[in-house]
Amino acid sequence: MVAWNKLKITVHTTETENYLYKNSFDVEGGNFSNAGTVSTHIKSILKNIGLPNNIIRKSAIVCYESEINIVSYARKGIINLTVTTKTVEFDIIDEGPGIPNIELAMEQGYSTADRQIREMGFGAGMGLYNIKCYSDIFNLSSEVDKGTFLKIIINIT
């Protein structure tokens, strides 16, 4: 457990929640040259907060794969990040084609990636599987032709 009082971080308090950091980041679909920039930014935020290295690593992995998914498949998306004293939470919402068969999409090696995605070194059907492996709570829901919602929680303790 991190000694938060030593880190000079303000704990924000509203009626319903306590958090150390909360922000939203836009991700542009199809912009392959910028893919990963939001995750790079979020990783440096988590480092500045002073989270343990293993938590930063897990967060970076799930955030990066999620960002690549938005860039690869959606028109646009938002990565909402909330850091509390106990968890790192990502609410990732995109507007795009959605996932017709979630069970199939979760399978290792299943992919609908095109050439551009594979040239970046992704698209081997490992993304969602990796995200699930490195999450403590993983919740994926989707509506075809509307978009996809991914909730990820990583426990700090």
Nearer to other proteins, 95 or 110 (CB): 110
Token pair, residue 126, equals: 């490992």
Q: CB 145 → other proteins: shortest distance, Å?
A: 26
Nearer to other proteins, 60 or 95 (CB): 60
Q: Helix crossing, 53-73 with 37-49: angle to 10°?
A: 160
- For 91, phi and psi rounded to 5 degrees? -110, 110
Cα gap 28→10, rounded to integer Å: 31
Q: CB 44 → other proteins: shortest distance, Å?
A: 9
Q: CB 136 → other proteins: shortest distance, Å?
A: 12
Cα gap 129→7, rounded to integer Å: 34
Q: CB 23 → other proteins: shortest distance, Å?
A: 17
Nearer to other proteins, 96 or 127 (CB): 127
Nearer to other proteins, 11 or 133 (CB): 133
Give the footprint of other proteins on this chain (CB under 8 A).
33, 35-37, 39-40, 43, 53, 57, 60-61, 64-65, 108, 119-122, 124, 126-127, 130, 133-134
- Only one residue has tokens 């068969």, namely 101
Q: CB 36 → other proteins: shortest distance, Å?
A: 4
Q: Where are the alpha helices (DSSP H) in the chain?
A: 37-49, 53-73, 102-106, 115-119, 127-133
Nearer to other proteins, 20 or 42 (CB): 42
